Amino acid sequence: MFNVIFVILHYQNIDDTINCINSIKKLQGLDSNYKIILVDNKSPNNTGKELEKKYINDSNIETVLLEKNYGFSKANNIAFKKAKEYNPEIVLVLNNDIIFEDNNFLLNLSKICKNSKKYDIICPDIINLKDEHQNPMKEKEMNIGKAYKNMLYEFLFYLLMNVYGIRNIVANRRKKREEKWFENYYKETLKNKICLDNFIPFGAFIIYTNQWIKNEERAFVSDTFMYMEEDMLGIYIKQKKYRMLYSEGLKVRHLEGRSTQNTNENQYKVLKFKSINKAKALYKYIMFCKKMKKGKM
């Protein structure tokens, strides 16, 4: 069996994290020397410390408590760098709300890696609670024109959410817009299932191996707090000529989004939080695309 390291990003929802770890421990073909790097992104409810205490005597689990919330990309990158200290052949980077329902997942992954050593990134079939498939995320990255448009929309939405008299109307329109986006997203995902090696991967679970582990010190190339990580990663993968594979034979369940939902009880604060971070991420995405075109990455 390959030297396998799991990277799990924890934030707030301790039940999801424990269930994720329990599902890993049930996997067939798991070597006794496997490692889980469990990184807590400064959960304000102190669940990171609870997890550290729970797994303190488990030699397979290393808990990393970050001194602040670095957001999705940087927190995963810190853990990825830590994972590389163990000289892994495969690093599985996953959200804490991923569940391995297929106990043969690692055995199937091992077959893929043995039969074809040319792939550097492997993307599993991620299925949400509605049985919708989330990988491949899409065929192409967002173009800069659309990124500008979406950035302005998010910033305007953020400003309007501060206007007490109209924020409920604005929030309802936002909800309808998001529902339409998700409807189109899952239609596109079904079409993109034929794109086995040229697509934008879904960031909830990505498997890194071969040349990526050899050459890179990070799992995600963006420094966004949240959002747009996948588009930037997809661009980088193509630019650097890494080989990527989507495999329907690797299936996991995604409980989806509960860490973010637990961040704030107030729906308006949650919406504002999401919008301002989307606007910032889109700006960074635009700058990233310009740098990539100039060959500065």
pTM of the model: 0.88
For the stretch 102-161, pLDDT in tens is 999 999 999 998 877 789 999 999 999 989 889 888 888 999 999 999 999 999 988 888
Note the Cα 178 to chain centre separation in Å. Answer: 19
pLDDT higher than threshold 80 for residue 278: yes
pLDDT-derived band at 258 (thresholds 50, 70, 90) equals low
% of the chain exceeding 70 in pLDDT: 90
CATH topology of domain 4-140+180-293: Spore Coat Polysaccharide Biosynthesis Protein SpsA; Chain A (3.90.550)
Domain range annotation of the chain = 4-140+180-293
pLDDT value for 263:
43
> Mean per-residue pLDDT for 51-69?
97
| Nearest Cα residue to 134 out of 125, 142, 121, 143 | 125
pLDDT value for 106:
96
For the stretch 208-229, pLDDT in tens is 999 999 999 999 998 888 899 9
Which residues does residue 91 pair with via DSSP β-bridges, in sequence order? 5, 208
pLDDT value for 265:
43
DSSP 249-282: EEEEEE--SHHHHTT-S-HHHHHHHHHHHHHHHH
